[in-house]
């Protein structure tokens, strides 16, 4: 396939797919959820997780106020919920009510955790820095929720139980298939 090399960067979806998560927040009695594809683990010790959030988001305002957030990973059956919370504004609508999103109780923060999540992190903000039009919000993971059956003994997602939500960009979603998994041990492959 011929390659295009260009300085017209555009929205650069070329590095997708990304796992689409749902970031939750609360300030006072106001709770909210938004879709997030720009997120990453940063450190194991201490356990740090980052999310890149536009300061325009209502979720961002709640996080600034409370200094807490949740990162929720839902199975592919809930991809419509990802699109719903990513396509509506917490300033205008109570997304939890409108989309009938069930909540679990957090243990270390006050932010709602989604019952549908096969895994979720409770995070306390330790840092934030603006990069261009987004803010990289870094949280220390203070509690983890996960469905035991959703993970293998090696702590990897069990694709027989759970299909993660992959976002391709341009409102397209997909998932992964267990039959495509390959075990490639780095010690063996690293020897060449």
Ligand X SMILES: Cc1cc2nc3c(=O)[nH]c(=O)nc-3n(C[C@H](O)[C@H](O)[C@H](O)COP(=O)(O)O)c2cc1C
Binding site for ligand X (CB under 6 A): 20, 32, 34-38, 52-54, 57-59, 82-83, 86, 88-90, 134, 167
Query: 92 vs 187, which CB is nearer to ligand X?
Result: 92
Contact 143, 122 (CB under 8 A): yes
Following CA atoms 124, 74, 163, 49 in sequence, which dihedral angle do they give, to the nearest 10 degrees? -10
Smallest distance from ligand X to CB 189, Å: 32
Query: 11 vs 187, which CB is nearer to ligand X?
Result: 11
Helices (H), 93-173: 95-98
Query: 77 vs 149, which CB is nearer to ligand X?
Result: 77
The strand pairing partners of 130, in sequence order, are 135
Smallest distance from ligand X to CB 93, Å: 8
Smallest distance from ligand X to CB 68, Å: 15
Query: 38 vs 160, which CB is nearer to ligand X?
Result: 38
Query: 107 vs 172, which CB is nearer to ligand X?
Result: 172
E strands present in the chain: 18-19, 21-27, 30-36, 39-43, 48-53, 68-73, 103-104, 113-114, 119-131, 134-146, 166-169, 172-174
Q: How many other β-carbons are positioned within 10 Å of the β-carbon of residue 163?
A: 18
Smallest distance from ligand X to CB 184, Å: 29
Smallest distance from ligand X to CB 145, Å: 21
CA nearest 139: which of 22, 19, 31, 52? 52
Helices (H), the chain: 58-66, 79-85, 95-98, 186-190
Smallest distance from ligand X to CB 153, Å: 31
Which residue is nearest to ligand X, using beta carbons? Answer: 86
Query: 16 vs 151, which CB is nearer to ligand X?
Result: 16
């Amino acid at each position: 396939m011929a390659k295009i090399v260009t300085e017209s960067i555009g929205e650069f979806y070329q590095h997708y797919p990304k796992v689409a998560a749902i970031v939750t927040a609360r300030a006072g009695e106001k709770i909210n959820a938004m879709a997030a594809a720009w997120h990453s683990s940063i450190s194991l010790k201490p356990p740090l997780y980052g999310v890149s959030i536009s300061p325009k988001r209502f979720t961002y305002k709640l996080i600034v106020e409370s200094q807490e957030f949740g990162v929720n990973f839902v199975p592919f059956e809930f991809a419509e919920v990802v699109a719903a919370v990513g396509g509506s504004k917490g300033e205008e609508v109570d997304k939890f009510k409108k989309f009938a999103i069930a909540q679990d109780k957090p243990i270390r923060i006050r932010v709602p955790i989604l019952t549908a999540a096969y895994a979720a992190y409770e995070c306390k903000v330790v840092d934030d820095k603006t990069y261009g039009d987004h803010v990289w919000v870094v949280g220390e993971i203070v509690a983890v929720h996960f469905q035991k059956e959703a993970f293998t003994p090696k702590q990897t997602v069990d694709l027989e139980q759970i299909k993660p939500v992959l976002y391709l960009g341009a409102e397209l979603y997909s998932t992964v298939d267990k039959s495509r998994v390959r075990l490639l041990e780095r010690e063996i492959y690293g020897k060449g």
